[in-house]
Structure 1
Amino acid sequence: MDTRQDEMRRDLDATLQARKELGKEYESELVDSFLAKLDARLDARLDARVERRVAERLDGHGPAEHLRRRRFGRSTSKLPLASLVLGIPLTAIASDGGNGFSRFMGLLVCWVGIVGVNFAAVLGERREQQRAESSRGDWD
């Protein structure tokens, strides 16, 4: 017998002993108390089982992680947002001063760099994900 069954058996024995000592007047309260403990235990076991099955269906990611990935895309990096935030002042700096051609070249270099960094990050994440998927065996 496992410890949970032992605990329930002890709780039942204690309830029966209390009924013997207190008499029939308290029988309904004692039964209600025991059933409340049993309900709580069953709820906890059911919650654990559901959580385990949800985790299995989500390929090992917790529910919050799965929802976040669905909502914000597969990228877990904050790099795209940081790039856009930093792109605004970099654009201002790159386009400041000089003639029209030098401004254009400054903007071009700035944004090609930002796009390149983001592209490299996405490729790196995809390669990492493919490696993780290929390293899983048939039994995972």
Structure 2
Amino acid sequence: MPENTLPRDEMRATIEARRDLGPDYDSALVESFLDKVDDAIAARIHNELDARMGPPPAPMPPPPHVPYAPYPEPPRGRNSQMWLALGTLALGIPLGAIGAGTAGFFGFALVLMAIVLVNVMANLPRR
């Protein structure tokens, strides 16, 4: 069936259905007819766009699934461990004094254990 005859044939069918059903179904018949006309217009627009733009591009394939991507190891300079040790010693002196002044020997020992823990954890080999 050619594209131009669809609304005319549908209109004839709607008028014949109105004659059979009576005026009680006018709004339902008009809605049905308008839906079919909208579909015909949308099909014409899609055909015109396809003719002008060509077919749509093929969808891209999904990216490959990588179950685990480890974080890259941060680059370390040759002196990074030395700077960490010097930094913790520089912070350890005032923190040790504060810990000893507030909690006595226990506070001083706690600060020293924290400094040792930081240095040990920083020098552990990375997995």
**For the superposition of Structure 1 and Structure 2, which TM-score range results when normalised by the shorter chain?**
0.3 to 0.5
Q: Which has the higher contact order (CA 8 A, sep 6+)?
A: 2
**TM-score normalised by the chain length of structure 1:** 0.38
Which of the two has greater helix per residue? 1
Higher alpha-carbon Rg: 2
